[in-house]
């Protein structure tokens, strides 16, 4: 079992750290991938080491993709390889968990039409614009896609993500 977290500077700290520590608690291998090569820094100042450059990621090697929020997804959604990786997970029905601004990356795949999802309040209009059914709930699970709105949703977000991973 191996998990990929894709993020960048200005991530929402708790939305990266909570899943990262939670998966380690389960003794699951986690790689953090980014456009930076050394460390990335959250909005609140936490730093985490980058394990992989985005360009070196083979999505076939991973069983779950996690997309934390903050300001990172607005940058990452413009990176072709990030969209390729997210598309690989959606098309192959592999688990994806995106929270807050994380779903912006899923929107940019163009593969979210007709799906059910949630996201940070300010992202909701563009989620609806691409034909996604938006629900204002702490967590929405649609097949292989788990989405949540904000840090306070992290308990429900990881409860459902781990349920999906172990199913």
Of positions 1, 2, 24, 58, contacts a copy of itself by CB under 8 A: 24
Instruction: Let me know if 101 is a catalytic residue.
Output: yes
Q: Residue 12 and residue 95: Cα distance in Å, rounded?
A: 21
> Residue from 1, 46, 56, 93 that binds a copy of itself (CB under 8 A)?
46
* Interaction between residue 158 and a copy of itself (CB under 8 A): yes
Site string for a copy of itself, 117-156 (x = CB under 8 A): ----------------------------------x--xxx
Helix/strand/coil (H/E/C) assignment for every residue in 106-165: HHHHCCCCCCEECCCHHHHHHHHHCCCEECCCCCEEECCEEEECCHHHHHHHHHHHHHHH
DSSP helix/strand/coil, 81 = helix
**Residue 163 binds a copy of itself (CB under 8 A):** no
Catalytic positions: 101
């Amino acid at each position: 079992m191996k998990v990929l977290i894709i993020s960048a500077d200005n991530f929402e700290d708790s939305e990266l750290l909570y899943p990262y520590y939670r998966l380690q608690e389960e003794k699951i291998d986690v790689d953090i991938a980014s456009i930076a090569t050394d460390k990335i820094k959250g909005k609140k100042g936490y730093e985490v080491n980058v394990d992989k450059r985005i360009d070196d990621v083979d999505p076939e090697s991973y069983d779950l993709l996690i997309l934390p929020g903050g300001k990172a997804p607005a940058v990452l959604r413009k990176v072709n390889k990030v969209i390729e990786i997210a598309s690989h997970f959606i098309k192959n029905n592999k688990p994806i968990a995106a929270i807050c601004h994380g779903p912006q990356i899923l929107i940019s795949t163009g593969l979210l039409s007709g799906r059910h999802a949630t996201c940070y309040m300010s992202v909701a209009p563009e989620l609806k614009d691409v034909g996604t059914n938006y629900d204002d709930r702490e967590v929405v699970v649609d097949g292989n896609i788990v989405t949540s709105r904000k840090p306070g949703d992290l308990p429900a977000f990881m409860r459902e993500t781990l349920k999906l991973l172990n199913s």
